[in-house]
Amino acid sequence: MQQVSKPDRYVSFVGIEGDKNSRELIGMLRRHIDDPQKSNRFWELFKDKLELVGRPDQNSGRSLDDLYLIHAYINNIRELFELYDDQPALKLLEQIETESC
């Protein structure tokens, strides 16, 4: 019987849906931070960064992507999901951290 191995980020990103998972997580995050009752100055500035994803022409030539922002702000994102007990988002965040960060 052939053993199926799990993707290993240290070897290759083959088998890891990093872009899809990142987009999905940002969607989960937006459900919270787009709610004025849950947002604050930090998240409003974070949304400005999200607007620069894939737009290096508007960011001094620097290209941002969702995974980079998740990695850079992973503790803030985790704290928000914990605050609102968003278990599906926390599970996906854990997966992204394990596979891609």
Longest pairwise C-alpha distance within the chain: 55
Distance CA 90, CA 80 (A): 10
- Average pLDDT of the residues in 43-58: 95
Distance CA 20, CA 30 (A): 15
* Average pLDDT over every residue of 34-57: 96
CA 46 to chain centre: 12
What's the chain's length in residues?
101
Tell me what the mean pLDDT of segment 68-95 comes to: 97
Q: Would you give the distance in Å from CA 48 to the centre of its chain?
A: 15
pTM attached to this predicted model: 0.83
- The mean of the pLDDT values for the chain is 89
Confidence (pLDDT) at 2: 53
Q: What are phi and psi of 13, to 5 degrees?
A: -95, 5
Q: What integer pLDDT is reported at residue 78 of this predicted model? A: 98
